[in-house]
């Protein structure tokens, strides 16, 4: 039995809830699809869904991210699924508070790729808030979450994801790497860590390096270069003066996202995001 290929990790800034607002703006035909801030790759899996329905088609995808744990995890799902499911099954059987902290203490760089991938999925599904976050030393430091019976993984879904990744190029790379291959007619989706709406609202824990204002300015230059090459370029970011200034001259659409705007989980509200399109 096959599940649906969709994000299997909970990732800060994951785009699943915005897909209905982004989807109508996607071109039907393009050459290579590139996502240099892949995270949970929500837009890639959405494109796969549209491809299955005959709504779009493209020959090659290149997905990358600076987070090496994340990229390793996708490579293992693509290439070593059976071994991964065997390890995840063990994690599920042994799950407890003590077990969580013993797995958290494992050093990823000392592990085999399959062990690293299983560790990431297990921690992502059992940690507090389900968010992968590292401290400045690059260590995953999130405490255990309060889940009664965490599902941890769905084998049918991982199987579908594995199939959807079969011919995909997966790389650990800084975003400007996209300039090394992008050509006219390619579709590039840029979804960086956002410019903070307020000084305290900044989530920067994806990697041990911060995505600061200089990085936002470099990214806006990359956007313009891709535009000049004739790529279709889409970018997400917060709806803010800074971002609107950086992308002046391009089409800036306002999207509404539901976000926790308060530390209390039951107080949610809408925040505006921008979708910058060059076509
Ligand atoms: C907003 S998230 C992307 C979310 C993704 N679109 C999704 O649907 O889950 C931003 C991603 O950028 C990655 N990242 C941070 N700095 C980067 C850099 N300089 N180059 C490439 N990737 C980076 C982070 O590891 C994180 O996965």
CATH number at residue 216: 3.40.50.150
The pLDDT, as a whole number, for residue 205 is 59
Per-residue confidence (pLDDT) for residue 121, from 0 to 100:
97
Find where tokens 């599940």 sit.
Answer: 3
For residue 197 the two structure tokens come to 């709406």
User: Whose C-alpha lies nearest to ligand 1, atom 8?
Assistant: 14
pLDDT, tens digit (0-9, with 9 covering 90-100), for 166-208: 999 999 999 999 999 999 999 999 999 999 876 555 555 566 6
Determine whether the shortest distance from the Cβ of 39 to ligand 1 is under 6 A.
yes
pLDDT at 25: 97
Band of pLDDT at residue 258, cut at 50, 70 and 90? confident
Mean pLDDT for the chain overall = 92
Q: Determine the structural domain holding residue 53 and report its residue range.
A: 18-65+171-277
- Statement: residue 261 has pLDDT above 90: no
Q: Whose CA is nearest to atom 19 of ligand 1?
A: 174
Q: What percent of the chain has pLDDT over 70?
A: 92
Q: Angle at Cα 235 formed by Cα 211 and Cα 44, nearest 5°?
A: 100
Backbone phi and psi for residue 255, each to the nearest 5 degrees, phi listed first: -110, 150
Question: What is the pLDDT averaged over residues 153-158?
Answer: 96
Ligand 1: which atom is nearest the Cα of residue 176?
20
pLDDT digits (tens, 9 = 90+) for 85-118: 999 999 999 999 999 999 999 999 999 999 999 9
Least confident of 47-61, 130-144, 179-193, 253-267: 253-267
Does residue 116 fall inside a structural domain?
A: no
Closest ligand 1 atom number to CA of residue 189: 6
Least confident of 2-6, 16-20, 55-59: 2-6
Query: Which atom of ligand 1 is nearest the CA belonging to 215?
Result: 19
Q: Is the pLDDT of residue 263 over 60?
A: no
Cα separation, 68 vs 116, in Å, equals 10
Closest atom of ligand 1 to CA, residue 43: 8
* Burial label, 208 (beta-carbon count in 10 A; 0-12, 13-18, 19+): middle
Give the pLDDT confidence score for residue 16 in this predicted structure.
93
Token reading at 192:
């960086």
| Residue 157 pLDDT exceeds 70 | yes
Residue 189 lies in a domain: yes
Domain contains 76: no
Ligand 1 atom 18: residue of nearest CA: 174
Is the distance from CB of 119 to CB of 84 less than 8 angstroms? no
Residue 30 has pLDDT above 60, yes or no: yes
Is the CB of 65 inside a 6 Å radius of any atom of ligand 1? Answer: yes
- Residue 130 lies inside a defined structural domain of this protein: no
Q: Is residue 73 part of a domain?
A: no
* Ligand 1 centroid, distance to 13 Cα (angstroms): 8
Task: Domain count for the chain, please give it.
Answer: 1
Give me the pLDDT at residue 164, please. 97
Residue-wise pLDDT for 65-77, tens only, equals 999 999 999 999 9
Q: Give domain status of residue 204, yes or no.
A: yes
CA angle at residue 163 from 161 to 169, to 5 degrees? 85
DSSP structure string for the chain: --------S--TT--GGGHHHHGGGS-SB-SEEEESS-TT-HHHHHHHHHHHTTS-B-SEEEEEES-HHHHHHHHHHHH-HHHHHHHHHHHHHH-SHHHHHHHHHS-GGGS-HHHHHHHHHHHHHHBGGG---B-TTS-B-PPB---SS-----HHHHHHHHHHTTT-EEEE--GGGGGGT--TT-EEEE-PSPPPSSTT----TTSSS---HHHHHHHHHHHHHHHHHT-EEEEEEE-SHHHHHHTTTSEEEEEEEEEE-SSSTT-EEEEEEEEEE--
* pTM for this model (two decimals): 0.93
Going from the Cα of 35 to the center of ligand 1, the distance in angstroms, rounded, reads: 9
Position 125 in a domain: no
Lowest pLDDT segment from 29-38, 190-199, 217-226, 260-269: 260-269
240 domain residue, yes or no:
yes
Does ligand 1 have an atom closer than 6 angstroms to the CB of 119?
A: no
Residue 53 CA to residue 36 CA, distance in Å, equals 25
């Amino acid at each position: 039995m096959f599940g649906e290929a969709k994000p299997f990790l909970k990732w800060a800034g994951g785009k699943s809830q915005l897909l209905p607002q982004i989807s109508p703006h996607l071109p039907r035909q393009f050459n290579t699809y590139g996502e240099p801030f892949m995270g949970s790759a929500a837009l890639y899996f959405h494109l796969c869904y549209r491809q299955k329905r005959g709504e779009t088609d493209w020959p090659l995808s290149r997905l990358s991210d600076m987070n090496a744990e994340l990229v390793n995890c996708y490579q293992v799902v693509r290439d070593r699924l059976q071994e991964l499911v065997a390890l995840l099954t063990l994690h599920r059987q042994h799950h407890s508070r003590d077990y969580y902290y013993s797995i958290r203490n494992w050093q990823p760089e000392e592990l085999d790729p399959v062990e690293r991938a299983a560790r990431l999925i297990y921690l992502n599904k059992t940690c507090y808030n389900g968010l992968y976050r590292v401290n400045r030393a690059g260590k995953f430091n999130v405490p255990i979450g309060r889940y009664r019976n965490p599902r941890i993984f769905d084998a049918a879904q991982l199987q579908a994801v594995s199939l959807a990744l079969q011919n995909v190029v997966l790389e650990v790379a800084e975003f400007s790497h996209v300039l090394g291959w992008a050509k006219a007619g390619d579709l590039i989706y840029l979804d960086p860590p956002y410019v903070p709406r307020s000084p305290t609202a900044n989530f920067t824990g994806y990697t041990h390096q911060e995505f600061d204002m200089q990085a936002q300015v470099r990214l806006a230059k990359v956007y313009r270069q891709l535009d000049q090459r004739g790529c279709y370029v889409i970018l997400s970011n917060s709806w803010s003066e800074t971002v609107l200034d950086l992308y002046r001259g391009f089409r800036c659409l306002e999207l509404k996202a539901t976000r926790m705007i308060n530390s209390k989980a039951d107080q949610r509200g809408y925040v505006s995001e921008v979708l910058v399109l060059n076509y």
